[in-house]
Chains A and B, each alone.
Chain A
Amino acid sequence: GQQVMQIPQYQHVQEGEDFTTYCNSSTTLSNIQWYKQRPGGHPVFLIQLVKSGEVKKQKRLTFQFGEAKKNSSLHITATQTTDVGTYFCAGPDSWGKLQFGAGTQVVVTP
Protein backbone atom coordinates (compact mmCIF):
# COMPACT_ATOMS: atom_id res chain seq x y z
CA GLY A 1 0.00 0.00 0.00
CA GLN A 2 0.90 3.64 -0.16
CA GLN A 3 3.54 4.82 2.26
CA VAL A 4 4.54 8.34 3.15
CA MET A 5 8.13 8.71 4.30
CA GLN A 6 9.60 11.78 5.94
CA ILE A 7 13.19 12.80 6.40
CA PRO A 8 14.84 13.71 8.60
CA GLN A 9 13.07 12.28 11.62
CA TYR A 10 14.81 14.78 13.83
CA GLN A 11 16.17 18.26 13.11
CA HIS A 12 18.15 20.38 15.52
CA VAL A 13 18.30 23.97 14.31
CA GLN A 14 20.00 27.08 15.60
CA GLU A 15 17.65 30.02 15.86
CA GLY A 16 17.92 32.10 12.71
CA GLU A 17 18.99 29.22 10.49
CA ASP A 18 17.02 27.72 7.62
CA PHE A 19 16.06 24.10 7.26
CA THR A 20 14.07 21.81 5.00
CA THR A 21 12.09 18.67 5.70
CA TYR A 22 11.13 16.24 2.96
CA CYS A 23 8.22 13.96 2.30
CA ASN A 24 8.18 11.10 -0.20
CA SER A 25 5.36 8.87 -1.30
CA SER A 26 5.59 5.46 -2.93
CA THR A 27 2.64 6.39 -5.15
CA THR A 28 1.34 9.48 -6.92
CA LEU A 29 -0.75 11.64 -4.65
CA SER A 30 -3.86 13.60 -5.52
CA ASN A 31 -2.89 16.11 -2.87
CA ILE A 32 -0.59 16.46 0.09
CA GLN A 33 -1.23 18.13 3.41
CA TRP A 34 1.11 19.44 6.08
CA TYR A 35 0.36 19.60 9.79
CA LYS A 36 2.24 20.92 12.80
CA GLN A 37 2.03 19.44 16.27
CA ARG A 38 3.49 21.37 19.18
CA PRO A 39 4.89 19.35 22.10
CA GLY A 40 1.95 18.00 24.08
CA GLY A 41 -0.50 19.36 21.53
CA HIS A 42 -2.56 18.12 18.66
CA PRO A 43 -1.89 18.23 14.91
CA VAL A 44 -2.91 21.52 13.32
CA PHE A 45 -3.42 21.88 9.60
CA LEU A 46 -0.96 24.14 7.82
CA ILE A 47 -1.62 23.76 4.12
CA GLN A 48 -2.78 21.56 1.27
CA LEU A 49 -1.06 21.29 -2.11
CA VAL A 50 -2.90 19.92 -5.10
CA LYS A 51 -1.16 20.87 -8.34
CA SER A 52 2.02 19.41 -9.76
CA GLY A 53 4.94 21.72 -9.00
CA GLU A 54 2.82 23.91 -6.75
CA VAL A 55 4.60 26.26 -4.38
CA LYS A 56 2.86 28.04 -1.52
CA LYS A 57 4.24 30.37 1.11
CA GLN A 58 3.08 31.19 4.59
CA LYS A 59 5.34 33.89 6.01
CA ARG A 60 8.63 32.07 6.65
CA LEU A 61 7.30 28.67 5.53
CA THR A 62 7.53 27.55 1.91
CA PHE A 63 5.75 24.39 0.78
CA GLN A 64 6.39 22.64 -2.51
CA PHE A 65 4.71 19.75 -4.30
CA GLY A 66 6.89 17.81 -6.69
CA GLU A 67 6.32 17.67 -10.42
CA ALA A 68 5.51 13.98 -10.25
CA LYS A 69 3.24 14.55 -7.23
CA LYS A 70 5.17 11.95 -5.25
CA ASN A 71 7.19 14.24 -3.05
CA SER A 72 6.89 17.46 -1.12
CA SER A 73 9.05 19.72 0.97
CA LEU A 74 8.68 22.28 3.72
CA HIS A 75 11.34 24.94 4.00
CA ILE A 76 11.51 27.26 6.99
CA THR A 77 13.67 30.36 6.84
CA ALA A 78 15.11 32.19 9.84
CA THR A 79 13.88 29.59 12.31
CA GLN A 80 12.35 30.90 15.50
CA THR A 81 11.64 29.20 18.82
CA THR A 82 7.97 29.26 17.90
CA ASP A 83 8.75 26.79 15.09
CA VAL A 84 9.41 24.03 17.63
CA GLY A 85 7.24 20.98 17.09
CA THR A 86 6.74 18.01 14.82
CA TYR A 87 5.81 18.59 11.20
CA PHE A 88 3.80 15.89 9.46
CA CYS A 89 2.99 15.43 5.84
CA ALA A 90 -0.06 13.39 4.91
CA GLY A 91 -1.45 12.06 1.68
CA PRO A 92 -4.50 10.01 0.72
CA ASP A 93 -3.98 6.35 -0.02
CA SER A 94 -5.76 4.46 -2.80
CA TRP A 95 -8.89 4.28 -0.66
CA GLY A 96 -8.77 8.00 0.00
CA LYS A 97 -7.76 7.63 3.61
CA LEU A 98 -5.23 10.20 4.82
CA GLN A 99 -1.94 8.51 5.74
CA PHE A 100 0.51 10.45 7.88
CA GLY A 101 4.25 10.31 7.68
CA ALA A 102 6.28 9.70 10.82
CA GLY A 103 7.00 13.41 11.15
CA THR A 104 10.07 15.57 11.53
CA GLN A 105 10.66 16.69 15.08
CA VAL A 106 12.21 20.16 15.15
CA VAL A 107 14.17 21.47 18.09
CA VAL A 108 15.33 25.08 18.04
CA THR A 109 18.29 26.32 20.03
CA PRO A 110 18.19 29.99 20.96
Chain B
Amino acid sequence: DAGVIQSPRHEVTEMGQEVTLRCKPISGHDYLFWYRQTMMRGLELLIYFNNNVPIDDSGMPEDRFSAKMPNASFSTLKIQPSEPRDSAVYFCASSPTTTGTGELFFGEGSRLTVL
Protein backbone atom coordinates (compact mmCIF):
# COMPACT_ATOMS: atom_id res chain seq x y z
CA ASP B 1 0.00 0.00 0.00
CA ALA B 2 1.18 3.51 -0.76
CA GLY B 3 1.99 5.65 2.20
CA VAL B 4 1.25 9.33 2.65
CA ILE B 5 2.17 11.12 -0.54
CA GLN B 6 3.34 14.71 -0.56
CA SER B 7 4.25 17.05 -3.36
CA PRO B 8 6.37 18.84 -4.24
CA ARG B 9 9.35 17.29 -2.48
CA HIS B 10 11.33 20.47 -2.89
CA GLU B 11 10.17 24.01 -3.57
CA VAL B 12 12.30 27.09 -3.97
CA THR B 13 10.45 30.34 -4.34
CA GLU B 14 10.91 34.02 -3.86
CA MET B 15 9.48 36.07 -1.05
CA GLY B 16 5.95 37.19 -1.78
CA GLN B 17 5.05 34.24 -3.97
CA GLU B 18 2.22 31.85 -3.23
CA VAL B 19 3.18 28.32 -2.23
CA THR B 20 0.86 25.33 -2.29
CA LEU B 21 1.84 22.04 -0.72
CA ARG B 22 -0.18 18.91 -1.38
CA CYS B 23 -0.90 15.75 0.51
CA LYS B 24 -2.65 12.47 -0.14
CA PRO B 25 -3.27 10.56 3.08
CA ILE B 26 -3.42 6.81 3.44
CA SER B 27 -6.79 5.53 2.32
CA GLY B 28 -9.09 4.91 5.25
CA HIS B 29 -7.29 7.23 7.63
CA ASP B 30 -9.77 9.70 9.10
CA TYR B 31 -7.19 12.07 10.56
CA LEU B 32 -4.78 14.27 8.66
CA PHE B 33 -2.11 16.45 10.21
CA TRP B 34 0.19 19.15 8.90
CA TYR B 35 3.49 19.59 10.76
CA ARG B 36 6.35 21.99 10.20
CA GLN B 37 9.92 21.13 11.12
CA THR B 38 12.71 23.63 11.67
CA MET B 39 15.98 23.46 13.55
CA MET B 40 14.86 26.17 15.93
CA ARG B 41 11.34 25.01 16.72
CA GLY B 42 11.42 21.29 15.99
CA LEU B 43 8.23 19.56 14.90
CA GLU B 44 5.21 21.82 15.26
CA LEU B 45 1.62 20.83 14.65
CA LEU B 46 0.00 23.41 12.39
CA ILE B 47 -3.48 22.02 11.86
CA TYR B 48 -5.35 18.76 11.82
CA PHE B 49 -8.50 17.46 10.18
CA ASN B 50 -10.97 14.77 11.10
CA ASN B 51 -13.13 13.43 8.29
CA ASN B 52 -12.09 16.40 6.13
CA VAL B 53 -13.16 18.95 8.75
CA PRO B 54 -10.53 21.22 10.32
CA ILE B 55 -10.55 20.54 14.04
CA ASP B 56 -7.71 22.61 15.43
CA ASP B 57 -5.77 25.27 13.54
CA SER B 58 -4.26 26.94 16.58
CA GLY B 59 -0.78 26.07 15.37
CA MET B 60 -1.13 27.96 12.12
CA PRO B 61 1.36 30.78 12.52
CA GLU B 62 -0.40 33.57 10.67
CA ASP B 63 -3.23 34.44 8.34
CA ARG B 64 -0.81 33.89 5.51
CA PHE B 65 -1.23 30.16 6.13
CA SER B 66 -4.36 28.28 5.14
CA ALA B 67 -5.21 24.61 4.79
CA LYS B 68 -8.04 22.77 3.12
CA MET B 69 -9.22 19.22 2.78
CA PRO B 70 -11.83 19.12 0.03
CA ASN B 71 -12.14 15.33 0.18
CA ALA B 72 -10.81 12.32 2.05
CA SER B 73 -7.90 11.82 -0.30
CA PHE B 74 -6.48 15.30 -0.70
CA SER B 75 -5.32 18.22 1.40
CA THR B 76 -3.44 21.42 0.67
CA LEU B 77 -1.40 23.83 2.76
CA LYS B 78 -1.09 27.25 1.22
CA ILE B 79 1.19 30.12 2.14
CA GLN B 80 0.39 33.47 0.62
CA PRO B 81 2.50 35.56 0.55
CA SER B 82 5.53 33.49 1.50
CA GLU B 83 8.38 34.90 3.59
CA PRO B 84 11.96 33.66 4.19
CA ARG B 85 11.05 32.62 7.75
CA ASP B 86 8.59 30.12 6.28
CA SER B 87 11.52 28.06 5.04
CA ALA B 88 11.15 24.63 6.63
CA VAL B 89 10.21 21.04 5.95
CA TYR B 90 6.46 20.58 5.94
CA PHE B 91 5.20 17.13 6.78
CA CYS B 92 1.77 15.73 6.25
CA ALA B 93 0.76 12.77 8.39
CA SER B 94 -2.34 10.64 8.62
CA SER B 95 -3.74 8.32 11.24
CA PRO B 96 -6.67 5.94 11.56
CA THR B 97 -7.17 6.88 15.21
CA THR B 98 -7.96 10.05 17.03
CA THR B 99 -5.19 12.47 17.70
CA GLY B 100 -2.73 11.55 20.38
CA THR B 101 -3.77 7.93 20.68
CA GLY B 102 -2.13 6.12 17.82
CA GLU B 103 0.64 5.97 15.29
CA LEU B 104 1.15 8.83 12.87
CA PHE B 105 2.17 7.91 9.34
CA PHE B 106 4.31 10.69 7.91
CA GLY B 107 4.88 11.57 4.30
CA GLU B 108 8.36 12.25 3.04
CA GLY B 109 7.89 15.97 3.47
CA SER B 110 8.08 19.09 1.33
CA ARG B 111 11.23 21.11 1.78
CA LEU B 112 10.42 24.76 1.24
CA THR B 113 13.01 27.45 0.69
CA VAL B 114 11.85 31.03 0.43
CA LEU B 115 14.50 33.40 -0.86
Q: Which residues of A contact B102 (CB under 8 A)?
A: 48
Q: Which residues of A contact B105 (CB under 8 A)?
A: 45
Contact in complex: A96, B99 (CB < 8 Å): yes
Question: Does B34 touch A at the CB level, under 8 Å?
Answer: no
Contact in complex: A97, B104 (CB < 8 Å): no
A-B contact list, 6 entries, CB within 8 Å:
A92-B100, A92-B101, A96-B98, A96-B101, A97-B100, A99-B45
Contact in complex: A97, B108 (CB < 8 Å): no
Chain A nearest CB, measured from B3 CB (Å)? 9
Question: Does B12 touch A at the CB level, under 8 Å?
Answer: no
Contact in complex: B106, A100 (CB < 8 Å): no
The interface size bin for chain A is: 20 to 34
Contact in complex: B101, A43 (CB < 8 Å): no
Nearest CB in chain B to that of A91: its residue: B100
A83–B27 Cα gap in the complex (Å)?
30
A-contacting residues of B (Cβ < 8 Å)?
A: 42-43, 45, 48, 56, 91, 98-109
A47–B77 Cα gap in the complex (Å)?
28
Question: Does A80 touch B at the CB level, under 8 Å?
Answer: no
B-contacting residues of A (Cβ < 8 Å)?
A: 30-31, 33, 35, 41-45, 48, 88, 91-93, 95-103
Contact in complex: A42, B104 (CB < 8 Å): no
Nearest CB in chain A to that of B103: its residue: A45
Q: Which of B43, B56, B91, B103 has the most CB of A within 10 A?
A: B43
Contact in complex: A98, B45 (CB < 8 Å): yes
Contact in complex: B99, A97 (CB < 8 Å): yes
Contact in complex: B43, A33 (CB < 8 Å): no
Contact in complex: B107, A42 (CB < 8 Å): yes
